[in-house]
Structure 1
Amino acid sequence: MTRGIGYYVHHQGAGHWQRATALARALRALGRPCTLMGTFSEIDTAGAPCPVLDLPDDRMIGAFDGQDGSGSRPEAFHYAPLNHAGLRARMGRIAAWAAETHPALLIVDVSCEVALFARLLSVPSLVVRLSGTRTDTPHLEAFRAASRLLAPFPEALDGGDVPDWVREKTYFAGFLGTEAAAAAPEDGRIVVVFGRGGEGGTLARLAEAAVAVPERDWHVLGPVTGDGPTPGNLHCHGWVGDVRPHLAPAALVIGGAGDGLVTAVAAQGKRFLCLPEPRAYGEQAAKAEGLARLGAALVHPGWPEAAAWPGLVARGLALDPARIAGLAEPDALARTAAAIEALCRD
C-alpha cells in the first residue's frame, strides 16, 4: 500500500489552499494519496481533490497576528499559548492522524510549530519557504528540522538575506497553481483584485481611481467596503471563486503580491501594477521587489492618490507582458509533484 502525504494548510488568505489543492491533484495523478489538513471555516472545501482533515482552531480571541505575546515562549516558536484547548486538540489530531496512517511525508504550508512537531512525530517534512526575510530563530529551526524546503516561486525571485544552507536545501518549484483560463482578447479593462488575506478595498478610493482614468472600465474582484456614488465605469463583482476568467480580457491587473494573484497574472501574461500589502517578514514587499527588478511588474507602495492614477496606468500599460509570462512554467506543478514523489521514496 502506498503511504500517503499530509498537507498542512495555513488559514491566512486563499493562496495556501489554492496551492495545496493544485499539488494534491498533481500528486493524485502520480498515485500518491494526500490528506489536506487545517482550519477551513473560511474555505469551501467541497471541491477538494482528496480527503480533508478539519483541525480545531488555534487562534486567540480577537485580532490574530501570529504572536501569543508570551514573554516565556521558547525561542523556537512563533506561537505557543498556554492553556489553549483548541491548540491542544489541533496538535493531538495531527498526532493521531500520523500514528494511524504512517505518512511518507508532511508538507507544511506554513507553520514553524507544525514543522517542528513533524520532526517530533518522526515524520519527514517538506516545509514551504515563503518570500521575505525569514532568518529569525523559529524559521531557521523549522528549516533545519525539515527534510527539504519548497519555495513556491521561481529562483529568479529569491532575494533577501538567505543563509547559504537554507538556499541549498530549497527546491524552487516556480509558481504553483492551476492552468490559465482559455485565452480571450483584451478589451482594455483594468481589473483590481483584493484577496482574502488583506483589508480589501474601499469604494470611495476605487471611485476616485475610476474617475481619474475615465476612458477605461474598472472591474473589482474581492471585498469592498463603504458606500456612495459609483461612476459608470466602475464595476464591483465581490468575491469570486476563480479570478482567471476575469483576468483574461484585462489590459492591466492591479493588486497585491500574494502568491495566488501573482501566479494567475504570470500564467496569463498580464501587465501588472503591484501594490504590495503589509505582511509578516516583508513577504509581499520582497516578492514585489523581485518582480520590479526583473521588469515583470510596476510596483507602487500602498494605494495611490487619485492624481497618481493616470501616470501609473500609462506606465503599467507600457510594460512588456512577456517579462512576467516568462516567469511562469507550464510544467511547474508536474515537475514539483514528481520531486515530492521522489522525496517520498528516499
Structure 2
Amino acid sequence: MTRGIGWYVHHQGAGHLHRARSVAAALPRPCTVIGTLAGFDTGGLDILDLPDDRPLGDGAFDGRDGAAERPEALHYAPLNHPGVRERAARIAAWAARTDPALLVVDVSVEVALLARLLSVPTVVVRLAGTRTDRPHLEAFRSASRILAPFPEALEGAATPGWVRAKTVYAGFLGAPAARATAPGEDIVVVFGRGGDGGRLADLAAAARAVPGRDWHVLGPVTGTGDAPEDRPANLHLHGWVADPEPFVAGAGLLVGGAGDGLVALAAAHAKRFLCLPEPRAYGEQTEKAAALARLGAAVVHPGWPAAEAWPALVQSARALDPATIGGLGRPDAVAACAAAIERIARAMGQT
C-alpha cells in the first residue's frame, strides 16, 4: 500500500492552499491537506481541518506567551489556548492513524517540530526574507529537506550556506499560463487575501493620474462612493475574483504586492510588473521585491504611491523587458516540485 503525504497550510492568505492544491494534484501518492480551512475552497481535496489557533483576546494570555517565557525554538506557543491544544492532538492522531510518508509544512515552526517529535519526516517550506532567527533555523534543521517556492535567483544574501545546501528551489508554484493573450493597455491591480486590500480614494486618485488607461482592480477594496468625483469612469472594481488569470493575461501592466501568487502570475504571463511590497514578517515581500528590482524584473515602489508619482512609475514599468520576469518562471515547476517531493519520500525509505 502506498503511504500518503500530508501538506500543512498556514491560514494567512490564500497562497499556501493554492500551492498545496497545485502540487497535490501532481503527486503520485495521496495527499491530505491539513490546516484551519474554514472559508477556503477545499473542493476535491482530502482535508484534515484544524481549530483556529489565533489569539483569543488579550485577557487569555496575560503576557505568558512573551519572549521571556516562550521556548527559544518556537515562534508561537500561547498557554491555555484550547485551539492550539486540539490542533496538536488532531495532527498526532492523523499521523498515528495514517502513518504518512512525509509531511510538507507550509509554514509553521511549531508544526515542523511537532512532526519531528511524531517521527514523521518533513519538507519545510522556506519563504523569502531573512529567516535566520533561532526558531526558523531549528525548523530547517529538523527537516529532511527545505522547499523554496521561488527561483534561486531570488535567494537572499543572508541565508546560511547549510540552509541553501538543504534547499530544493522549486520556483514559482503557480499554474502555467493557460492562454496566450496579446497584452493590452489596461492596468490590472491585484490585492490578495493576506493584506489589507486597497482604498477606494487611493485607487481613484491613481486612475485620475493616469486617465488614458482603464484600471481593473481585483480583490478587497475599502471605502464607498459612486459619484463621478469618487470613482472615475476608468476605474473598475471587480472584488474577489476566483480566477484572476483572464485579467492578468490581457493586462498591459500588472500592479500589486510581492506575494508568491501574484509574482508567479507575473512570471507565468511575462507581465510588466509594478511591485508595491507590503509589510510582512522577516521582510518577505520587501526582500523579494528588491531581488526583482535588482534583476530588472520589476519596478518597485515602497507602499502605495502618491497620485503625482503614478505617471512616471507607469512609464518606467512600461519600459521593462517582460522577458526578464518571464525568464524566472518554469512551466514545469509544479510537476518538478511533485517529483522532488516523491524523491525525498523514497530517499527516506518510504513506499
TM more than 0.5? yes
Q: Deviations over 1:254-293 (max 9, x none)?
A: 0000001000110010000000000000000111011111
Aligned-pair CA distance for 1:215? 0.2
How far is the alpha carbon of 1:336 from its aligned partner? Answer: 1.2
Q: Residue 86 in 1 paired to residue 83 in 2?
A: yes
Q: Which amino acid aligns with 1:53?
A: L
- Which residue in 1 is equivalent to 2:210? 213
Alignment of 1:74-223 (within 5 A): 74-223=71-220
**Aligned equivalent of 1:25:** 25
Q: Is contact 2:56-2:81 (8 Å) kept?
A: no
One-letter amino acid of the counterpart of residue 74, structure 1: P
| Other structure's SS at 1:307 match | helix
Residue among 203, 224, 227 paired with 2:224: 227
Q: Residue deviations 1:226-280, cap 9 Å, x none?
A: 0122000000000011111110110000000000100011001000000000000
Shift, 1:319, TM fit: 0.5
For structure 1, which segment, 273-282 or 54-63, has the greater mean C-alpha deviation from structure 2 after superposition?
54-63
Which residue number corresponds to residue 53 of structure 2? 58
Please report the TM-score for the alignment, with normalisation by the length of structure 2. Answer: 0.94
- State the distance in 2 between where 1:68 and 1:59 align: 12
Q: Give the AA of the match of 1:117.
A: L
- Give distance in 2, aligned partners of 1:190 and 1:68: 44
- The 1-side partners of 2:39 and 2:158 are apart by 34
Q: Is the 8 A contact 1:174 1:332 kept in 2?
A: yes
Change (3 A) 1:225 1:62: farther
Q: Offset at 1:68?
A: 4.2
Correspondence for 2:61:
none
Q: Secondary structure at the match of 1:90?
A: helix
Question: How far apart are the structure 1 equivalents of 2:288 and 2:19?
Answer: 17
Task: State the SS of the aligned residue for 1:87.
Answer: helix
1:236/1:62 Cα in 2 relative to 1: closer, same or farther (>3 Å)? farther
Tell me how many residue pairs correspond in the alignment: 338
Q: Find out whether 1:4 has 2:9 as its counterpart.
A: no
Closer, same or farther in 2 for the Cα pair 1:230/1:62, shift >3 Å?
farther
- Normalising to structure 1: TM-score of the pair? 0.96
Distance in 2 separating the partners of 1:69 and 1:305: 38
Deviates more, 1:70-79 or 1:197-206: 70-79
Structure 1 residues 68 and 203: alpha-carbon distance in aligned structure 2, compared to 1, 3 A threshold? farther
User: How far apart, CA to CA, are the structure 2 residues paired with 1:189 and 1:37?
Assistant: 38
Q: Distance between the aligned counterparts of 1:246 and 1:145, measured in 2?
A: 41
Alpha-carbon separation, structure 1, partners of 2:38 and 2:245: 24
The 3-state SS of whatever aligns with 1:78 is: coil
Whether the 8 Å contact between 2:65 and 2:79 is mirrored in structure 1 is no
Distance (whole Å) between structure 2 residues aligned to residue 93 and residue 235 of structure 1: 44
After TM superposition, list the pairs within 5 Å mapping 1:330-345 onto structure 2: 330-345=331-346
Once the two structures are overlaid, the 10-residue window that deviates more, 157-166 or 191-200, is 157-166
Q: Distance in 2 between matches of 1:62 and 1:294?
A: 43
Percent identity of paired positions between Structure 1 and Structure 2: 68
Instruction: Write out per-residue CA displacement over residues 61-111 of structure 1, whole angstroms, 9 at most, x where no aligned residue.
Output: 359xxx943530000000001111111000100000000000000000000
Uncovered stretches (5+) of structure 2, i.e. residues with no partner: 59-63
Q: CA RMSD in A?
A: 1.2
With 69-78 and 275-284 compared, the bigger mean Cα shift is at: 69-78
**Aligned equivalents of 1:199 and 1:69: distance in 2?**
26
Q: How is 1:273-288 mapped onto 2 (pairs within 5 angstroms)?
A: 273-288=274-289
Give SS of 1:286's match: helix
SS at match of 1:339: helix
Match of 2:15 in 1: 15
Could you say what secondary structure the match of 2:26 adopts? helix
CA contact (8 A) 1:70 1:81 kept: no
Q: Distance in 1 between matches of 2:327 and 2:131?
A: 27
CA distance in 2, matches of 1:69, 1:93: 26
Give the distance between the partners of 1:170 and 1:289, measured in 2 at CA.
21
SS in 1 for 2:25: helix
Q: Which letter does structure 1 place at the counterpart of 2:46?
A: P
Segments ≥4 residues shifted beyond 4 Å: none
Counterpart residue number, 1:316: 317
1:312 partner SS:
helix
Offset, 1:42: 2.6
Contact 2:9-2:35 within 8 A present in 1 as well = yes
